[in-house]
Structure 1
Amino acid sequence: MPLYPVYALLFADSGLSPAQVSSLFVIWSVTAVVFEVPSGVWADVFSRRRLLALGPLLTAAGFALWTLFPSYPVFAAGFVLWGLGSSLRSGTWEALVYEELRLRGAKASYARLVGRAEAVGTTAVLVATAVAAPVMRAGGYAALGAVSVAACLLCAAVSWTLPESRAPRSGSAPSPSSLPDDPDAEDEGEEDEEEEPSLRRVVSEGWGQVRRSPGVRGALALSVVLMGVTALDEYVPYLAASTGVAAAAVPLLVLLVSAGDAAGGWAAGRGLRWLVPAPAVAGVCMAAGALAAAAGRAEGLLLVGAAFGILQWAMAAADARLQERITDRSRATVTSLAGWGSEVLSVAIFAAYGAGSLWAGHGVLFAVAGVPYMVMTAFLCCSARRRGGRV
């Protein structure tokens, strides 16, 4: 969506102050937090494919409103639509893909598939960023809005072509003691017959899986912490600029980090046995690269890009681990809990980064951000030791 890299300019040209723009971002974040889990519950009760198609339509409506009626109330409404549309896809996409692969006997390819999808998405963002300037020169914000709306409509059409084999079943739900705690228990549990899904039933079972299964809780927490790194994306340009390079070179350094992110997505699904040490390696790369950047060494962004790539790979592996340990009856609900947790963590990271910027530079703050991932490896090792070698 070429409107994405320049929508802040649209706000400014429409007369919004920095405070008003910040309030729009708050509205966006709050919308995502509020609707994240309910949308997962809807996906477990209703058609996941339909929700995936509806999400981009809501986003398209928001972009159309921005383009046609630029004003603060309309921008706020657009962010609500965008946040709701994103929430409808979060958790729903992962649940539909994993279940379809499981039914086809190909669930082992889940991490590779979602990782590559993420890599393609990252590449598409880079292409959209590159074409934003010529499109804006040709037709201004109206052209950018039209192309972005068209991209959302295309996304909805593609979503509608996705397969969905899941159908309501009848019978009784499994008892709490039968909730899966290991990867091999899920297929047996999902063969049990169950009653037609309802909102209350799905919420109860999803919460039961998280509360009673240590394996589910661990996989959920791992996914949340790994996804928290996405909050740092917003600050990469500042880190690049802190190296002292010319302003024209900053996008190239940002591109290095984005390329590392995409490489991690393409590598997803391979070498899953390295999930435990991966966060520590990423943390070391993050800290070393950030400190090098702070010292004026632009090549430090290569290490930062490697850290983002490793964490992107680890996110896909952790997501696959989570999907293995939950049942399809509340799969989107539990997956949405991970999305909700990551949104809350992102807000905390934004606040911590803003407070930290009062006493430290971007290089130091990125280096500090790498420390929790080193600690995570120690925690995973201890957890694996307690569980007899399983993470």
Structure 2
Amino acid sequence: MNPAKLLNPRDPGAANPRAARVAAALYAYCALDELVLLYPLYALLFADSGLSVAQIASLFAIWSVTGLLLEVPSGVWADAVSRRLLLVLGPLLTAAGFALWLLFPSYPAFALGFVLWGAGGALQSGALEALVYEELDRVGAADRYARVMGRARAAGIVAVAVATAAAIPVYAAGGFAWVGAASVAACLLCSLAAAALPEHRGGPAAPYGSGGDDGAEEERGYLATLRDGLREVRRDRSVRGAVLLSALVYGVWGALDEFVPLLAADTEVPTSMVPVLILVIWCGVTVGGLLAGAGERLTDRGLAALLAAGGAAMAAGAVSGSPLGILGVAAAFGAFQLATVVADARLQARITGSSRATVTSLAGLGTELTTLAVYAGYGAASAAAGHGMLFAVFALAYPLMAVVLARGRRARRAARTG
């Protein structure tokens, strides 16, 4: 299949120009959001500014805690106000954080920059998925959501690769100042791309359980929006299951991604080859995103099989200790990326109330908590086991998810026939 066709927002179905407009703006937004040249270099910026390893670690903690605390409140705000507004503001906060780093390279400025970056990411989380799904649904293309989001994720991954490659010559030409300026510019362009996203919210959808009296409800406040989202998750078993699945699928492999360079180094290849192995894995992730259109047709049994196969491939590849084993990890990460997009699509399809971004942010909160748990477990066990064994242990989470998913399917079938 032609890769260019896969990334063309007008090719799938090729019959809905309004859906194509949503897709094109989304691809630009996701690519620019990841086109940050500071990504591979900001730890070096901190060290070059005299920060200790402990101080750098504390900055990462500040970043994580900020996102964790603001994940759900930002989702509620997106439902109560405007999702596009939050998508415009998010990159601006990140740009302000990067600018602080450049102008005042010191620990307080770095800490405040991470708070702004974490806040910017929280504003985008939940709001993006909710806006895209509802805009596609409005033009009769909700069934293309998984395909469009999969391609958007792939565009982001390609942008990370481009930014990493570009950072080398840009740093050589102008140091951290040029790298930082390019990153700020990318954030500003990302904000402009967000402004191009359509948003039609002439009146909020009816709250969960209200009977769907469209347009009859007055604009709701923050607390009412939060209560509506929590009520939908609490009362609707299918939504609750989709929230948990979405959180767990990405939470585990998203955390393990941070340790991929260490796993690659354990294969005893020359250090110069480690980036090549990492690239192989991210090629697998990209392919997984591009296959989301086909993945949205998976049944519960098919998704369970995908998760189980991915877990087996990761475990086998990781414990092999061989560069060839990285192919197994790449295949697993591709399967998990595909499953992540499919799980998100199922969540969006099951949300019926007006607090879509709130519910999606609850899934994001679950992802953050899962990621922190994996970090803690990995760190605690790292003294007793190598990276390959740790990857294999955490890979067991996916067959367990597959079993729970399959059992849930059987329980629903029994309830219908009983």
Q: TM-score, normalised by structure 2?
A: 0.87
Report SS of the residue matched to 1:275.
helix
Report SS of the residue matched to 2:218.
coil
Q: Does 1:99 align with 2:134?
A: yes
Kept after mapping to 2: 8 A contact 1:173/1:193: no
CA offset at residue 68 of structure 1? 1.3
Kept after mapping to 2: 8 A contact 1:269/1:316: no
Match of 2:231 among 179, 187, 208: 208
Match of 1:81 among 116, 122, 137: 116
Kept after mapping to 2: 8 A contact 1:11/1:21: yes
CA offset at residue 389 of structure 1? 8.0
Q: Does 1:43 align with 2:78?
A: yes
173 and 29 in structure 1: CA distance in 2 versus 1, 3 angstrom threshold: closer
**Ranges in structure 1 where 5+ consecutive residues have no aligned partner:** 179-188
Kept after mapping to 2: 8 A contact 1:174/1:192: no
Deviation readout 1:236-268 (Å, 9 max, x if unpaired): 000000000000000000001111011111111
Q: Does 1:199 align with 2:222?
A: yes
Q: Structure 1: how far apart are the matches of 2:414 and 2:330?
A: 31
Deviation readout 1:263-305 (Å, 9 max, x if unpaired): 1111112133222211101100110010112xxx101111101
Q: Does 1:233 align with 2:257?
A: yes
Q: Structure 2: how far apart are the matches of 1:190 and 1:33?
A: 34
49 and 173 in structure 1: CA distance in 2 versus 1, 3 angstrom threshold: closer
Deviation readout 1:67-100 (Å, 9 max, x if unpaired): 1110000000000000000000000000000000
Cα RMSD between the aligned structures?
1.5
The answer for the alignment partner of 2:303 in structure 1 is 275
Match of 2:289 among 265, 285, 309: 265
Match of 2:178 among 143, 159, 168: 143
Q: Structure 1: how far apart are the matches of 2:213 and 2:87?
A: 23
Q: Does 1:351 align with 2:376?
A: yes
**Ranges in structure 2 where 5+ consecutive residues have no aligned partner:** 1-35
Q: Structure 1: how far apart are the matches of 2:280 and 2:414?
A: 36
Instruction: Please identify runs of 4+ aligned residues in structure 1 that moved more than 2 A.
Output: 167-170, 172-176, 189-195
Kept after mapping to 2: 8 A contact 1:264/1:309: yes
Q: Structure 2: how far apart are the matches of 1:379 and 1:169?
A: 35
Match of 2:320 among 288, 292, 314: 292
Q: Structure 2: how far apart are the matches of 1:175 and 1:92?
A: 22
Q: Structure 2: how far apart are the matches of 1:27 and 1:325?
A: 34
190 and 100 in structure 1: CA distance in 2 versus 1, 3 angstrom threshold: farther
148 and 190 in structure 1: CA distance in 2 versus 1, 3 angstrom threshold: farther
The answer for the alignment partner of 2:192 in structure 1 is 157
Kept after mapping to 2: 8 A contact 1:168/1:197: no
Identity of aligned residues (%): 55
Deviation readout 1:322-381 (Å, 9 max, x if unpaired): 001113510000000111111111111111000110100000000111101011111111
143 and 389 in structure 1: CA distance in 2 versus 1, 3 angstrom threshold: farther
Which range moves more in the overlay, 238-247 or 275-284?
275-284
Report SS of the residue matched to 2:383.
coil
How many aligned positions are there? 375
Deviation readout 1:180-209 (Å, 9 max, x if unpaired): xxxxxxxxx474743322111111110000
Q: Does 1:250 align with 2:274?
A: yes
CA offset at residue 169 of structure 1? 4.7
Q: Does 1:129 align with 2:155?
A: no
The answer for the alignment partner of 1:70 in structure 2 is 105
The answer for the alignment partner of 1:221 in structure 2 is 244
The answer for the alignment partner of 1:6 in structure 2 is 41
Kept after mapping to 1: 8 A contact 2:204/2:215: no
Q: Structure 2: how far apart are the matches of 1:173 and 1:208?
A: 10
The answer for the alignment partner of 2:64 in structure 1 is 29
Kept after mapping to 2: 8 A contact 1:95/1:328: no
Match of 1:314 among 336, 339, 351: 339
Report SS of the residue matched to 2:384.
coil
Q: Structure 2: how far apart are the matches of 1:148 and 1:389?
A: 54
The answer for the alignment partner of 2:53 in structure 1 is 18
The answer for the alignment partner of 2:11 in structure 1 is none
Kept after mapping to 2: 8 A contact 1:173/1:195: no
173 and 134 in structure 1: CA distance in 2 versus 1, 3 angstrom threshold: closer
Q: Structure 1: how far apart are the matches of 2:331 and 2:319?
A: 15
287 and 169 in structure 1: CA distance in 2 versus 1, 3 angstrom threshold: closer
Q: Structure 2: how far apart are the matches of 1:231 and 1:174?
A: 33
17 and 327 in structure 1: CA distance in 2 versus 1, 3 angstrom threshold: same
Q: Structure 2: how far apart are the matches of 1:169 and 1:370?
A: 41
CA offset at residue 166 of structure 1? 1.3
Report SS of the residue matched to 1:123.
helix
Report SS of the residue matched to 1:220.
helix
Q: Structure 1: how far apart are the matches of 2:379 and 2:272?
A: 25
CA offset at residue 50 of structure 1? 1.1
Report SS of the residue matched to 2:304.
coil
Q: Structure 2: how far apart are the matches of 1:238 and 1:383?
A: 36
73 and 121 in structure 1: CA distance in 2 versus 1, 3 angstrom threshold: same
Q: Structure 1: how far apart are the matches of 2:204 and 2:379?
A: 49
CA offset at residue 135 of structure 1? 0.6
